[in-house]
Amino acid sequence: MFKFQKYFIGFAIASLLFLNLMAQPAPDDTEDNLPKDYLTKDFHTGRRAALRNSMPDNSVMVFFAFPTRTYSNDVEYLYHANPDMYYFSGYKEPHSLLIIFKEDQKDSLGNAYNELLFIQKRNAKAEQWTGRRLGIDGAKDRSGIKTVYNASDFKSFAIDFSKYSKIIVDRFPEDVPDGFDNADLFDLIKQLKEKMTQPEVMKDLTRFDKTLFTQLTADLREIKTPEEIDLLRKAVEISCQGQNEVMKTVHPNMSELEIQGLHEFVHKKQGAESVGYGSIIGSGENGCILHYMENTKTKVGNSMLLMDVGAEYHGYTADVTRTVPVDGKFSEEEKSIYQIVYDAQEAAFKTLKNGSKWSDASKAAKDVIAEGLLKLGIIKNKMEVGKYYPHGLGHHIGLDVHDRGNYSTLKKDMVITIEPGIYIPQGSDCDKKWWSIAVRIEDDLLITENGYELLSHFSPRKIEDIEKMIKEKSVLDNYKLPPLESKKKGF
């Protein structure tokens, strides 16, 4: 009996030690082998301080994690954090909630705090399947927030929303799955709604303000810090390198999907974790579809090829478009359309500087395109320009490809795109020789005091420079794969 008791106690202790080890990060060199240029804790702390400074008196602001999404059956998409949550906390895991207060608050023990972060707790079994979690200590270290709790603590955490003049909250996430955990995002939202819909809170509905949420976050996120600019530079250069290598290696027998793969191979080879949006590889008529992402054409042929692809590096995305002749030489018609778009982009560039207006750049580009199409006889009057140039001139980039920002005055340290285009689909009301020509040139720019810096200068834009690059050899030229056995058998 004594021997069995000793064995049982020893087994119990060993089991507890094992579970404790499983609850901690694995004792390997994982941390040492991670990139060293992520945004720092000081960045996130500084962003919260800047936000708090801009919030109105006696206000509280709430941020949700994005929901997880099902890819197929019981398989989920790779999780992508809510950019606002990441920007202000550095926390990238699901099932979390961030609350920021304008003024210091007091807990039941009289301790002061002005921010709260509720996160998913450590779970050895779950982490074996889906990866390590930061846990409370890790989240504190990553975010600089001292008041971090498990999400399961939120239900009993006392917050009297009736005492705040403004409750600043984004729209609640939709279609949030209710998982097995009683402290997941579904439950956090449910519990928050219960706290916010108490009778004393609902007496004054004007305290709820979604518009202010967008305004405050846009005011901060549209102006990039030096750390953000460094990451965007990297994302843009990687994207340009992908464009250049594809220009050098593209040929008529390639498929759109193969070209997409070459771009994204270069991105990952250079350390970009993902793409900032679905890669657009449109040859010929497919280039006339503005957000074409199927990329299913099996041979691009000798048509024009529009490639709108942006690497995402540590959450920050580039957005670079190049349009090239697959056969290496622009036809006269292709050259005419391309030159108009190039000239429109140059005209927009000349307006850019601190204090200039988005509308000035847009008008400059649109006027050039209208005049060019009128000269070629593609439109009958300048009012018809929208038929072939149907989108806006550009947008902010950052943690979102269409990043938060205000679209009135340009300011120093904004990072934006300028992307005029002309798209002439089959059946258009013009000479058939113009049909299926689609051109977009998109570049990423940093606004400076007296002008701009062209971040995407690494990839050629001029007709002669593109044709010259297409003739060069690529490091991707010699990759070969054996034919699939199924194709040999005619499947």
pLDDT of residue 32: 76
pLDDT of residue 182: 85
Please give the backbone phi and psi of residue 295, each rounded to the nearest 5 degrees, phi first.
50, 45
Q: CA-to-CA distance for 300 and 282, rounded, in angstroms?
A: 8
* Region of residue 271 (left: phi > 0; alpha: psi -120 to 50; beta: else): left
Residue 477: CB atoms within 10 A of its CB come to 12
> What is the sign, positive or negative, of the torsion defined by CA atoms of 32, 34, 36, 41?
negative
Is residue 276 exposed (0-12), middle (13-18) or buried (19+ Cβ within 10 Å)? buried
Low-confidence ranges of the chain (pLDDT < 50): 1-28
Residue 237, C-beta contacts closer than 8 angstroms, at least 6 positions apart: 455, 458
pLDDT of residue 489: 67
pLDDT of residue 15: 40
Q: Enter the DSSP assignment of 382.
A: G
Q: Where are the alpha helices (DSSP H) in 291-383?
A: 332-349, 358-375
* Region of residue 135 (left: phi > 0; alpha: psi -120 to 50; beta: else): left
Residue 61, C-beta contacts closer than 8 angstroms, at least 6 positions apart: 51, 55, 99, 100, 101, 168, 169, 213, 216
State both tokens at 12: 């119990």
Q: CA-to-CA distance for 300 and 286, rounded, in angstroms?
A: 10
pLDDT of residue 10: 43
Task: Please say whether the beta carbons of 200 and 388 come within 8 A.
Answer: no
Residue 35, C-beta contacts closer than 8 angstroms, at least 6 positions apart: 271, 314
> What is the sign, positive or negative, of the torsion defined by CA atoms of 328, 331, 332, 336?
negative
Q: CA-to-CA distance for 167 and 425, rounded, in angstroms?
A: 48
CA distances from residue 219 to 63, 216, 223, 346, 410 in whole angstroms, order as listed = 16, 5, 7, 28, 12
Residue 154: name the closest of 99, 80, 111 by CA.
Answer: 99
Please, what's the largest Cα pairwise distance for the chain? Answer: 101
Task: Please say whether the beta carbons of 299 and 254 come within 8 A.
Answer: yes
Please spell the DSSP secondary structure of 100-116, one letter per residue: EEEEEEE-TTS-EEEEE
Task: Please say whether the beta carbons of 73 and 67 come within 8 A.
Answer: no
Specify the 3-state DSSP secondary structure of 457.
Answer: coil
pLDDT of residue 108: 82
Structural domains of the chain, ranges and CATH numbers in brackets:
23-220 (3.40.350.10), 223-470 (3.90.230.10)
pLDDT of residue 109: 85
Long-range contacts of range 471-477, CB-CB < 8 Å, 24 or more positions apart? 471/328, 472/248, 473/248, 474/245, 474/246, 474/248, 474/249, 475/245, 476/245, 476/246, 476/248, 476/249, 476/262, 476/265, 476/266, 477/248, 477/249
pLDDT of residue 465: 98
Q: CA-to-CA distance for 265 and 140, rounded, in angstroms?
A: 35
